[in-house]
Homo-oligomer: A and B are copies of this chain.
Amino acid sequence: MGSCNACCHRLPRTLLRSSPSLFPSSSSSNISIPRRIHFPFCPPKSIRNIYTSGEHFTWDDVVQFAHDDSSDVLRGYFDKVTLCNRNSEKQSEFIPFMIEGQIVGYVHNRFSLNLQRYKDVFMLLEDTSGNSNFGCHVALHPVLSSSEDRTKAVGNVIKCLGENLIPGIRNELYPVTSSFGTPEFFSLERAAAPFFGIKVYGVHMNGYVERDGEKYLWIAKRSKVKSTYPGKLDHLVAGGLPYGISCGENIVKECEEEAGIPRSISSTATAVGAVSYMDIDGYRLKRDVLFCYDLKLPEDFIPTNKDGEVESFKLVPVTHVANIIRNTQLYKENCNLVIIDFLFRHGYIKPEAFGYLKLLKSLRSGDCT
């Protein structure tokens, strides 16, 4: 904990900016490094790596950005919201996935061709609801009337489609519903969720400490061997919401596994709202809703990771975290939204900043139901 302040020497302003475009160029042409800058922690080449790959950086690299509060007040935040909501103009390429008259997801029109081979599981039906640009929707075969049958049949198709079409199979099931809290129609492999555009729910927790009236956030740095977002910055605790567990129970479970927080402390975590986004990437349509939690931790608490998913933790003043969010892409994308929500609720973003309401609204750009 103490090392945070010790190493946060003040650096000259305007080192780097995150790109305003969705797909930052891999060249370093838009990196402006003013002359006569002293780099106490890493040479310019290393900074380029931070910017372009987002993986190969150290805590020392991170803190360089923590003091840089020179950028347009809200611009860097808007960029991060945009990163989580790519290609919204391509929604029209997706066909509704309907069960029992309700939309539970969306399938890319070209991906749906892969499903048509499995006629005893998937059907392409004429759409009378007006929900589809293609005049049709994807449905399950009516013989699959129970949740168990659907889960098994769809699971078998996903296995047949294989890693080429649906990479990263985790053998972890997510509930398929029309909205949160409604009965599950069936359960779907986590890696397949974006290919079927189902709503996925998660819990994200900002763990913070208050010391002498100033707030500090615990940042996790993901393990370099994690299959997703290796080495990126993350919340102290976060996780998807699998089948059959409530948000509150899940937070307590993840607190124990990811940060070694005992139930006596984690049970005081406070539900504070939700953010949402809709991201299109090829055949993948993510419709994620993240339930946000705050946990005020004792000043002397030190997190310890137990499941090997976190490389290390660091306690950083919230004002510095805000600069890291605005100035870099070092955080796992969706964490940005939850931290921006934290910044709103704790008064770090003020109505006087131009774009306040627009940014606030953008935190629920996805279908937040």
Chain A residues bordering chain B, tally (CB within 8 A):
31
Q: How far is the CA of A355 from the CA of B349 in the complex (A)?
A: 28
| Interface residue ranges of A233-261 to B (CB < 8 Å) | 246-248
Q: A50 near B: Cβ within 8 Å? A: no
* Other-chain contact of A361, B347, B349, B354, B369 (Cβ < 8 Å): B369
Q: A270 near B: Cβ within 8 Å? A: yes
> How many copies of the shown chain assemble into the complex?
2
Q: A321 near B: Cβ within 8 Å? A: no
B272 lies within 8 A of A344 (CB): yes
* A interface list, Cβ under 8 A from B: 179-181, 246-248, 270-274, 289, 291, 344-347, 349-352, 354-358, 360-361, 364, 368-369
Q: How far is the CA of A289 from the CA of B270 in the complex (A)?
A: 26
What residues of chain B lie closer than 8 Å to A271, measured between beta carbons? Answer: 344, 347, 349-351
With A350-B248, A360-B368, A368-B360: A355-B273 Cβ-Cβ less than 8 Å: no
Q: Name the distance in Å between A206's Cβ and chain B's nearest Cβ.
A: 13
B351 lies within 8 A of A358 (CB): no
A368 lies within 8 A of B364 (CB): no
* Listed residue (A181, A289, A291) with the most chain B CB atoms within 10 angstroms of its CB: A181
The chain B residue with its CB closest to the CB of A247 is: B351
A274 lies within 8 A of B345 (CB): no
Q: How far is the CA of A346 from the CA of B271 in the complex (A)?
A: 7
19 extra A-B contacts, CB within 8 A, seeds A181-B354, A358-B369: A180-B356, A181-B355, A181-B356, A247-B351, A247-B352, A248-B351, A248-B352, A270-B346, A271-B351, A272-B344, A272-B345, A273-B344, A274-B351, A274-B356, A274-B360, A291-B351, A357-B368, A361-B364, A361-B369
A357 lies within 8 A of B180 (CB): yes
Could you give 9 example pairs across A and B, Cβ below 8 Å?
A180-B351, A271-B344, A271-B349, A271-B350, A271-B351, A273-B360, A291-B351, A358-B369, A360-B368
The chain B residue with its CB closest to the CB of A350 is: B271
Q: How far is the CA of A273 from the CA of B344 in the complex (A)?
A: 6
Q: How far is the CA of A131 from the CA of B345 in the complex (A)?
A: 35
Q: How far is the CA of A291 from the CA of B361 in the complex (A)?
A: 13
The chain B residue with its CB closest to the CB of A294 is: B347
Q: How far is the CA of A347 from the CA of B292 in the complex (A)?
A: 10
A345 lies within 8 A of B181 (CB): no
* Other-chain contact of A246, B270, B289, B351 (Cβ < 8 Å): B351
